[in-house]
Structure 1
Amino acid sequence: MSIRLLISSDSLRNTTFSCDSMGIHYDVSKEGDIVSIYRWESKSNQKVLVGQIQFHLVSLNLNDKVRIGENGEWKKRKDVLTLDGGNFIARTFEGNDGVRYKWKLHWESLQLCYADKDGPNQGPLLVYHRNILPGKESYLEIRDTSILPTLDNIIVTFLIMEKKRREFDETAAA
């Protein structure tokens, strides 16, 4: 059984990710030059800060900063999402469960896989379905529920990777 996290808008700075049937809800909002990601905690009925991203205007600027968790320290993007071999768009990160994950591009769509088990026969753990038609929502399809405990990290890194993918598309089109 897969889970669909619906994405309310195409903006990476002001949107929501939600699956009402599972009680999953993330709010993404921009304040100044900081993008903040909050998870709604049903037990306390409050929003919990799960991460922040400081994007710089220059797309290839490696000075973008990321903070995971409410009390996490600011780190450079390249230290959170590390380059995976020679692939320009693929990046790996460590989830809060200690497992290494890899974001990769497959037919212009981001997919999340295990970094250490990546191979041609490994299916993705999560797939981004981007809809460009009016009235159709994009969504993240969670194909393996074992990643739910590290969903906070996945949402934060997804926002960074999707921004990178969009910049790559813009550069290729120019």
Structure 2
Amino acid sequence: MNGKSTEFTPSEEFVKRIGGTEPILWRVEGDDGKAYNWSIRNHRLELELLQIKGSPRQNPVAIYHRPKRYFFVGMVSQFGHIDIDSSTMGTLDSLIVSFLIMERKRRDGSFLG
């Protein structure tokens, strides 16, 4: 991506689990050299820019909204979508790839482990 070498990186190295048991965080380094953390908050997948210790919690730079269904079954009333902050457009490729990895982990049940 973005002119980098064509070597493949295993997903376990691209997105790494950090921290203890609560909260579960997964870290990815963007193409911009900044570190981002994926976590589940309010039953949705959120991406935050890595905080400096002692700084207040920042607003997420990406939030995945799962599809909504009428009465929780049947037809979809709102399709799933991801809201991405415009400040991350320079590293969008790596963030989208990391989102796909995290969503697969969430669906497989391996997000927590």
Distance 1:72 1:117 in 2: 32
Answer 1 or 2: which has greater helix percent.
2
Runs of 4+ in 1 over 4 A off after TM superposition: 68-71
The 5 A counterparts of 1:21-100 are: 50=1, 71-87=5-21, 89-100=24-35
Distance 1:109 1:139 in 2: 11
Q: Which residue of 1 aligns with 2:67?
A: 131
State the superposition RMSD in angstroms. Answer: 2.7
TM-fit CA distance, 1:135: 4.1
1:161 aligns with 2:95: no
SS in 2 for 1:75: coil
Once the two structures are superposed, residues 65-113 of structure 1 have per-residue CA deviations (whole angstroms, 9 ceiling, x without a partner) of xxx8774311222211111111484210111100011111112211000
1:104 aligns with 2:39: yes
Q: Which residue identity is paired with 1:162?
A: E
How many residue pairs are counted as aligned between the two chains? 103
User: Percent sequence identity over matched residues?
Assistant: 34
TM-score norm. by structure 2 comes to: 0.76
TM-score norm. by structure 1 comes to: 0.51
Could you list the runs of 5+ residues in structure 2 that have no partner in the other structure? 70-75
On the 8 A contact 2:38/2:45 being kept in 1, the answer is yes
TM-fit CA distance, 1:121: 2.8
